[in-house]
Amino acid sequence: MSIEESATSPSTEPGRLAVRKTYKLFIGGAFPRSESGRSYPVRSASGDFMANAALASRKDARDAVRAARSAFGKWSGATAYNRGQILYRVAEMLEGRRAQFVEEVTAASTSASATSGDDAAEA
C-alpha cells in the first residue's frame, strides 16, 4: 500500500492508524492553515471519505483578496508572451496529472470512468 493510499483509505494492518489527508488553503504562494483551524470532510458520491478540506474564515478570504490584489500589478506588468508561457506551463502540469484527476472525478461522482475521462478532456 502506498503512502497516498494509506492517507485516504482505512489501514488494513492491525494496530496501524490511517492518517487522513487534510488540504490547506493556497494564499499568496503559500499553503497556510485556516485561521479558524477548522476543516470539513469531503466525501465521494457513495459516502466514502476522500479527504479533509480547510474551512476558510472571513480573515482567510480577506488575506486571499489582499494577496491577489498585490500580485495583480506584477501579473499585468508582465508581457503577453511571458503570461502565455506561464499559462502553458500550468496546462502542461495539469495534463501530466490527468489520470489522477480522472480518478478523483470518478470517485466523487456516480458517472462511469469513460464519462469522467470525457469531462476531464473537455476541461
pLDDT, tens digit, for every residue of 5-48? 444 445 456 778 878 888 999 999 999 999 999 999 988 888 88
Looking at the fold, whether 100 and 46 belong to one and the same domain comes out as no
High-pLDDT (> 70) share of the chain, % = 78
72 shares its domain with 83: no
Q: pLDDT category, 120, cuts 50, 70, 90? A: low
Considering the domain architecture, whether residues 67 and 118 belong to the same structural domain is answered as: no
Residue 83 reports pLDDT greater than 90 = yes
Q: Could you give the number of structural domains in the chain?
A: 2
Give the domain extent around 119: 79-123
CB atoms within 10 A of CB 89: 10
- Rounded to whole angstroms, the Cα distance separating 97 from 45 reads 22
Other Cβ atoms closer than 10 A to 120: 19
Residues 10 and 66 in one domain: yes
Same domain for 62 and 116: no
